[in-house]
């Protein structure tokens, strides 16, 4: 079952020893699931986005070749179409989806594209990240079994 173990992080206002898949009011980039990142600094931003104590949970991710995984190396036409599909409430049958994140700026451009306010070409002209992003989303119980909790670090949001 194990190939290339990776350390990944989940930024939250909670310690999450046993991850769960929770649906939310709004669909996210890759639909509902448990979101993590390989970038610790990004997880710290997630953990401290509200004015309360945050936690960066660390996991060992053990890839399972029997799971259905979709991987987007970079922002591509397929990535954009997949995010638009998911953000419009579409469901998919992947256990895990990994790729760039539509951060706040990119999200606004995606919403403008969905709403027909900008063209596909205009989206790509505007879609430039200020810093690299990464997300990996676990969509099924089987996918969550690939994670081993390794601990967490506490972070205070000091209004910065």
The answer to whether residues 153 and 55 touch, using CB atoms and an 8 Å cutoff, is: yes
Element (H, E) at 40: helix 40-47
Tens of pLDDT along the chain (160 residues) come to 446 799 999 999 999 999 999 777 677 889 999 999 999 999 999 999 888 899 999 999 999 999 999 999 988 999 999 999 998 889 899 999 999 987 666 778 888 888 999 998 888 887 765 566 899 999 999 999 999 999 999 998 765 5
Of 37, 32, 41, give the one whose Cα is nearest residue 61: 37
Q: Dihedral, CA atoms, 27, 28, 33, 39, nearest 10 degrees?
A: -170
For residue 7, list its beta bridge partners: 60
Place of tokens 């079952």: 1
Of 133, 28, 124, give the one whose Cα is nearest residue 85: 28
Q: Return the domain boundaries, the chain.
A: 6-155
For residue 12, list its beta bridge partners: 55
The answer to whether residues 47 and 107 touch, using CB atoms and an 8 Å cutoff, is: no
User: What's the first-to-final CA gap in the chain, in angstroms?
Assistant: 42
- Three-state DSSP state, 83: helix
pTM, two decimals, is: 0.86
């Amino acid at each position: 079952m194990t190939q290339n173990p990776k350390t990944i992080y989940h930024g939250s206002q909670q310690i999450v020893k046993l991850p769960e898949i929770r649906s939310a009011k709004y669909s996210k980039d890759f639909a509902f699931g448990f979101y993590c990142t390989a970038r610790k600094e990004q997880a710290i931003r997630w953990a401290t986005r509200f004015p309360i104590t945050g936690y960066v949970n660390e996991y060992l991710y053990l890839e399972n070749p029997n799971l259905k995984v979709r991987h987007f190396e970079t922002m591509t036409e397929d990535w954009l179409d997949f995010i638009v599909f998911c953000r419009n409430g579409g469901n998919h049958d992947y256990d895990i989806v990994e790729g760039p994140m539509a951060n706040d700026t990119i999200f606004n451009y995606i919403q403008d594209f969905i709403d027909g306010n900008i063209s596909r070409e205009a989206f790509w002209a505007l879609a430039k990240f200020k810093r690299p992003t990464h997300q990996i989303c676990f969509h099924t119980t089987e996918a969550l079994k690939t994670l081993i909790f390794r601990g967490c670090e506490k972070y205070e949001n000091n209004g910065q």
